[in-house]
């Protein structure tokens, strides 16, 4: 049996009858929408509507100029299966994504561990390594294009000293994609390093001190304390690195424009060419939908696998 106390009932009635309570609630509601309204509007215009439009345009053939659209159903998606360039850019993009996980992430972690020791000059090295984050990608790609030049590039001198012949990095189908991966690794290294540094500095020093008292070696400290404690940070870096690698556009566009023979073209570059250079908006929209679903799948798989090795404090 439910018992209602008289004083609690009276308190509710008095609160309901408080002058200005409904006016205050209305003011808070208006304030809430005033803050969140512009963000929702921008999201609807620049994110939600393009997503819906791409999904609808992926079922038509349209050149972006004529007002008429021809319904083709799943024709654009079937075209991908027979498109050899599509499979080539998918392979290139997967290589870029793999390099972000296998090369950039471990290298960023090593640099973060070294710079976290507060050695003399560590602050300067942090700034130098992080500086590409603020560098214009077009200017960055143009400088690297000069470095990779097979005849006059800066990279040729050290190779000559080693007795090696400098390849035509950006004109060779074998070396064009590795050149793009080198630039992407260099440009994204600083951001991942700073994220790892923030994770390392959040580990309580008392854990290391207690382990050292017990005679733990440096490897034990790293494998049993550092890695488990920064596992959420590592997971974040892996997620953002993979998504960023799948959406790479500016650097390969300036360095090689996808050439030679699509050997360095990434998925987003091929999507852009179809939609805005060749005016195949329907096929480009289908490529965008597939990319969205693939990123969604990769993120879902990584989230599922993270439950086995990510430890939240």
Residue 19: predicted pLDDT: 53
Residue 10: predicted pLDDT: 47
Q: Which CATH number does the domain housing residue 294 bear?
A: 1.10.3720.10
Q: What angle do the packed helices 105-115 and 231-246 form, to 10 degrees?
A: 140
Confidence of residue 20 (pLDDT cuts 50, 70, 90): low
pLDDT in tens, 208-248: 899 988 888 889 999 999 999 999 999 999 999 989 988 89
Is residue 221, in this structure, part of any structural domain at all?
yes
In angstroms and rounded to an integer, the radius of gyration of the C-alpha atoms of the chain is: 27
Is residue 94, in this structure, part of any structural domain at all?
yes
- Distance from C-alpha of 17 to C-alpha of 19, rounded to nearest angstrom: 6
CB 281 within 8 Å of CB 293: no
Residue 18: predicted pLDDT: 56
Is residue 66, in this structure, part of any structural domain at all?
no
- What percentage of the chain carries pLDDT values higher than 70? 93
- Distance from C-alpha of 185 to C-alpha of 174, rounded to nearest angstrom: 18
CB 248 within 8 Å of CB 233: no
Is residue 44, in this structure, part of any structural domain at all?
no
Preceding amide of 260 cis, omega within 30: yes
- Distance from C-alpha of 100 to C-alpha of 298, rounded to nearest angstrom: 14
10 Å Cβ neighbour count for 115? 20
Mean pLDDT computed over 9-14 = 50
**Overall number of domains in the chain:** 1
Is residue 179, in this structure, part of any structural domain at all?
yes
Among the residue ranges 212-221, 261-270, 273-282, the one predicted with the least confidence is: 212-221
Mean pLDDT computed over 150-177 = 84
Domain ranges, residue 183? 83-309
The pLDDT of residue 2 is above 80:
no
- What percentage of the chain carries pLDDT values higher than 90? 50
Mean pLDDT computed over 76-105 = 94
Q: What is the 3-state secondary structure (H, E, C) of the chain?
A: CCCCCHHHHHHHHHHHCCCCHHHHHHHHHHHHHHHHHHHHHHHHHHHHHHHHHHHHHCCEECCCCCCCCEECCCHHHHHHHCCHHHHHHHHHHHHHHHHHHHHHHHHHHHHHHHHCCCCCCHHHHHHHHHHHHHCCHHHHHHHHHHHCCCCCCCCHHHHHHCCCCCCCCCCCCCCHHHHHHHHHHHHHHHHHHHHHHHHHHCCCHHHHHHHHHCCCCHHHHHHHHHHHHCHHHHHHHHHHHHHHHHCCCHHHHHHCCCCCCCCCCCHHHHHHHHHHHCCCHHHHHHHHHHHHHHHHHHHHHHHHHHHHHCCCC
Mean pLDDT computed over 258-276 = 93
Among the residue ranges 26-30, 151-155, 292-296, the one predicted with the least confidence is: 151-155
Is residue 77, in this structure, part of any structural domain at all?
no
The pLDDT of residue 5 is above 50:
no
Mean pLDDT computed over 23-40 = 89
- Distance from C-alpha of 193 to C-alpha of 268, rounded to nearest angstrom: 26
Q: What is the mean pLDDT of the chain?
A: 87
pLDDT in tens, 32-86: 999 999 999 999 998 889 889 999 999 999 988 888 889 999 999 999 999 999 9
Is residue 26, in this structure, part of any structural domain at all?
no
Is residue 237, in this structure, part of any structural domain at all?
yes
pTM for the complete prediction? 0.84
């Amino acid at each position: 049996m439910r018992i209602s106390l008289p004083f609690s009932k009276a308190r509710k009635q008095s609160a309901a009858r408080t002058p200005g309570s409904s006016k205050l609630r209305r003011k808070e509601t208006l304030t809430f929408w005033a803050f969140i309204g512009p963000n929702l509007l921008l999201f609807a215009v620049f994110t939600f509507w393009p997503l819906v439009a791409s999904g609808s345009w992926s079922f038509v053939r349209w050149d972006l100029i004529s007002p008429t659209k021809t319904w083709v159903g799943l024709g654009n998606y079937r075209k991908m299966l027979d498109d050899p360039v599509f499979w080539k850019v998918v392979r290139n993009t997967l290589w870029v994504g793999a390099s972000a996980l296998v090369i950039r992430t471990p290298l960023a972690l090593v640099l973060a561990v070294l710079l976290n020791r507060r050695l003399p000059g560590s602050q300067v090295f942090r700034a130098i390594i992080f500086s590409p984050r603020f560098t214009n990608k077009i200017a960055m790609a143009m400088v690297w294009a000069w470095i990779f030049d097979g005849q006059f590039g800066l990279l040729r001198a050290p190779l000559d000293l080693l007795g090696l012949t400098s390849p035509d990095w950006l004109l060779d189908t074998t070396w064009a994609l590795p050149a793009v991966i080198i630039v992407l690794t260099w440009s994204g290294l600083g951001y991942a390093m700073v994220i790892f540094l923030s994770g390392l500095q959040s580990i309580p020093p008392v854990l290391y001190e207690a382990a050292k008292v017990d005679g733990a070696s440096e490897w034990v400290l790293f494998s049993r304390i550092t890695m488990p404690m920064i596992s959420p940070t590592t997971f974040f870096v892996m997620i953002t690195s993979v998504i960023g690698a799948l959406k790479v556009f500016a650097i390969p566009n300036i360095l090689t424009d996808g050439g030679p023979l699509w050997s360095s073209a990434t998925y987003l570059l091929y999507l852009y060419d179809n939609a805005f250079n060749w005016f195949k908006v329907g096929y480009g929209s289908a490529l965008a939908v597939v990319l969205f679903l693939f990123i969604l799948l990769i993120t879902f798989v990584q989230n599922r696998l993270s439950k086995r090795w990510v430890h939240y404090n």
